[in-house]
Amino acid sequence: MAELRRPENMQRITTPELAEAFIDEQIAALREQIGDRKVLLALSGGVDSSVVAALLIKAVGQQLTCVHVNHGLLRKGEPEQVIEVFRNQMNANLIYVDAVDRFLDKLAGVSDPETKRKIIGNEFIEVFAEEARKLDGISLLAQGTIWPDILESEAGIKAHHNAGGLPADLNFELVEPVRILFKDEVRVVGKELGLPDGMVFRQPFPGPGLGVRCVGAITRDRLEAVRESDAILREEFAKNGLEGKVWQYFTIVPDFRTTGIHDGQRSYDWPVVIRAVNTRDAMSATVEDVPFTLLQHITDRITHEVKGVNRVLFDLTPKPTGTIEWE
Ligand code: XMP
């Protein structure tokens, strides 16, 4: 199974019928591979891991244990959505780990972006490994590896991020049910599996999450400003037909303050930066031409609803020279 390759002549999955056929095939294959054994899955709530979870729930139900680690850097409402969809609606065996303090304590005072990434990645593996060791009799690890991951790691572009890094005592056999799919196919399959659109068609979100948008050393109050302003931006983009049209859009809160006025009083608060870009492959990107009146409305909401913010800026920089994320 681990060596499975995408057949050269495989038809692109673009319709519900093709998705249904893939789902039926995978369920049979999963049942055969898994038998009566137990499977573990790190469920972030992203497209790939969510589709893997939904497939496994269909195939083996309670033999699957999902672990959702909340590292405190998720977007507003995300942990709640994972619990609602998988535990409440799909009746999955879901372990929710509130690791917010652990991550934020480790990150306190750390301003270098790559060090922040490393801390978040390492801590994630540690938390997940701890949960895995608490569980008895699990021999399989499911992963949301997709076909581009395999191609990119073969081409030496990026290390295949999955499985890498788990401690040696956790010696799992891998289960990779979406391994031969491209991202767009994973979405079609996810929709057919009944996952909500907000989960299946969501914009890319980096592993280190809001951590790389809370520029410099992360503080809890500034992190909340990132989370709240991001939620307002997403809500307004959805209301105004930009969701699904713009490739990636989010807010950044830099670690400096500027003067302003709040309720007739001098304020000394953070700016929020809005970034909205379009791209095909994230190697280069152009800036979305967001209507000015909408930007004014979003500015009004952010400056009045988000604590500690008195100014909103729009990032006009294409990639290159700017990367999409600020860190
Ligand atoms: P940049 O900032 O390099 O981003 O122009 C390109 C795309 O990659 C995402 N990104 C990341 N994804 N871990 C991830 O999983 C990361 O550390 C990371 N950094 C950037 C970014 O959101 C954009 O879609």
pTM above 0.85, yes or no: yes
Token duo for residue 170: 């956790």
Atom of ligand 1 at shortest distance to CA of 205?
22
User: Contact, 254 vs 310, CB < 8 A?
Assistant: no
Rounded to the nearest angstrom, the distance between the alpha carbon of 98 and the centre of ligand 1 is 24
**pLDDT, one tens digit for every residue, the chain (327 residues):** 447 899 999 999 999 999 999 999 999 999 999 999 999 999 999 999 999 999 999 999 999 999 999 999 999 999 999 999 999 999 999 999 999 999 999 999 999 999 999 999 999 999 999 999 999 999 999 999 999 999 988 887 766 655 567 888 889 999 999 999 999 999 999 999 999 999 999 999 999 999 999 999 999 999 999 999 999 999 999 999 999 999 999 999 999 999 999 999 999 999 999 999 999 989 999 999 999 999 999 999 999 999 999 999 999 999 999 999 999
Atom of ligand 1 at shortest distance to CA of 161?
15
Residue located nearest, by CA, to atom 12 of ligand 1: 206
Residue 16 preceded by cis peptide, ω within 30: no
Whether residue 46 has its Cβ less than 6 Å from ligand 1:
no
d(CA 179, CA 44): 17
Residue located nearest, by CA, to atom 9 of ligand 1: 206
